[in-house]
Amino acid sequence: MLKLGVNIDHVATLREARYHGKSDGEPDPVEAARLCESAGAHGITVHLREDRRHIQERDVWKLREIIKTRLNLEMANTPEILALAIRIKPEIVCLVPERRQEVTTEGGLEVAGQVKPLSDTRKKLNDAGIEVSLFIAPDLRQVEASAEVGAQFIELHTGAFAEHFHQSHERVAELDRLVAAAKQAQQLGVRVNAGHGLNYENLPSLHCVPHLVELNIGHSIVSRSISVGLTTAVEEMLTLMRGYAG
């Protein structure tokens, strides 16, 4: 069964627009996580960025207390966030590139050029009982390097697929890249997640990509929740994921 991890960063984005620097405020990402889990989500994803633009450290600690499914912490490979992750102990950490000027994570990790430092971080997290995923473009060189690092998962960056979804030739080309990367990862013993830019329109096309374990989706679900509520938004996404053959 294909699993859904709901990214609740943009619930915190809305809160911070009014309550930045305050100890509370609305909407509450922790309450959003509860609703997502009760609607059937298989996990909750948050990105604790260095600039703390949305999710705050206190959010992650609260989520660690209440999450009953699986907490996925997205983070840059920095000493500060690494030390915090080891203390919080999410089920899985997804290492992502991070630039302060970007609105959201714009590309995949350059794993092939950072095998040693990423391997060191992967080992520290694994030693703490935390699985490790690497957020990468669907590039065979990066898949191979991820296996060399020893990551348990990769998360395939689906942003290019989403961006070109309405151009048939480009959409097919991006799906081919995702299929090839997923197949290679499976052959190398690395499990495969995917995410970025996925929504209610483009998700069904992703069913042709094999070996997927989990999709991490945030913005589309949070946006849809304004119209139909968060519970219904999650349930609708889960409906679109049914029938995935793997």
What's the pLDDT tens digit per position in 121-148? 999 999 999 999 999 999 999 999 999 9
Q: For all residues of the chain together, what is the average pLDDT? A: 95
Q: How many domains does the chain have?
A: 1
In this predicted structure, what is the pLDDT of residue 100?
53
State yes or no: pLDDT of 8 exceeds 80.
yes
Q: Does some domain include residue 173?
A: yes
Q: Which of 10, 42, 54, 196 is catalytic?
A: 196
Label the pairing between strands 3-7 and 212-217: parallel
Q: Which of 74, 98, 155, 174 is catalytic?
A: 74
Q: Which of 10, 37, 42, 47 is catalytic?
A: 47
Residue 87 CB contacts under 8 Å (≥ 6 apart), including other chains: none
Q: Does some domain include residue 246?
A: no
Q: Does some domain include residue 216?
A: yes
Q: Does some domain include residue 156?
A: yes
Q: Does some domain include residue 15?
A: yes
In this predicted structure, what is the pLDDT of residue 104?
52
Contacts 24+ apart (CB under 8 A), 13-20: 13/53, 13/54, 15/54, 16/53, 16/54
Q: What is the pLDDT of residues 62-106, one digit of tens each?
A: 999 999 999 999 999 999 999 999 999 999 999 999 765 544 556
Q: Does some domain include residue 200?
A: yes
State yes or no: pLDDT of 160 exceeds 60.
yes
Percent of the chain residues past pLDDT 90, beyond the cut: 93
Label the pairing between strands 43-47 and 3-7: parallel
Q: What is the pLDDT of residues 29-71, one digit of tens each?
A: 999 999 999 999 999 999 999 999 999 999 999 999 999 999 9
State both tokens at 141. 């060189």
State yes or no: pLDDT of 182 exceeds 90.
yes
Structural domain including 47 reads 3-241
157 carries an active-site annotation: no
In this predicted structure, what is the pLDDT of residue 102?
47
CATH code of residue 220: 3.20.20.70
169 carries an active-site annotation: no
54 carries an active-site annotation: no
